[in-house]
Amino acid sequence: MKHLRVNDQEYNDMIERLILKVADDGYEFDSLLCLARGGMRIGDLFSRVHNVPLAVMATSSYREEAGRVQGDLDIAAFITKTGGEIAGKLLLVDDMVDSGKTIVKVVEHLKKAYPAVTDVRVAVLWWKSHSVFKPDYHIDYLEDNPWIHQPFEIYDDLGIADLRKKRGE
């Protein structure tokens, strides 16, 4: 398996480029929704730049073998958002479209459960070639489907004791 390692500076640069790509397209969204956990940093920056509330939907499918094997998709029953419900044109942000199965099911869920949403567009940093879903906006198309190592993943298995050790405490 190929690997792609991304540092903090590269990661933030990609998010900024994605924000500009959506803006340059002229898509003016009424609601902003990120998928937790991968889309939270991306959603946070979109929310700050556009000065709009960020809605959060928790999903999970990578649970086995240290998060490397996709299992059954779990979509949270509720979306967390201030300022009312999601409605109108919705921008859904996440870190990547890997298999595409999660995004497909989330978009289907949104259309059924939130009839006030009139349009859904998807913005991600990475789009892998083996995906069954093509996002509306992406920064990198990954033909060889590498495993992506994002800068914050160092905390995934760290634990409190190792964090104290890392900090010299």
Query: What is the pTM (predicted TM-score) of this model?
Result: 0.89
Question: What is the phi/psi pair of residue 148, to 5°?
Answer: -95, 130
Q: Are 94 and 42 in contact (CB under 8 A)?
A: yes
- Residues in the chain, pLDDT under 70: 61-71
Q: Are 17 and 10 in contact (CB under 8 A)?
A: no
Q: Where are the alpha helices (DSSP H) in the chain?
A: 8-25, 40-50, 101-113, 159-166
- pLDDT tens for residues 121-169? 999 999 999 999 999 999 999 999 999 999 988 888 888 998 999 899 9
Q: What is the pLDDT of residue 65?
A: 47
Listed by start position, the domains of the chain span 3-166
Give counts: helices (H), strands (E), the chain.
Answer: 4, 8
User: Using CA atoms, how far apart are residues 50 and 65, in angstroms rounded to an integer?
Assistant: 37
Q: Residues 51, 55, 61, CA angle at the centre, nearest 5°?
A: 135
The DSSP call for residue 102 is: H
- CATH architecture classification, 3-166: 3-Layer(aba) Sandwich (3.40)
Both tokens of residue 134?
């093509």
> What is the average pLDDT value for the chain, to the nearest integer?
90
Q: What is the pLDDT of residue 62?
A: 53
- Closest C-alpha to 71, from 107, 101, 39, 92: 101
- Closest C-alpha to 11, from 122, 124, 146: 124
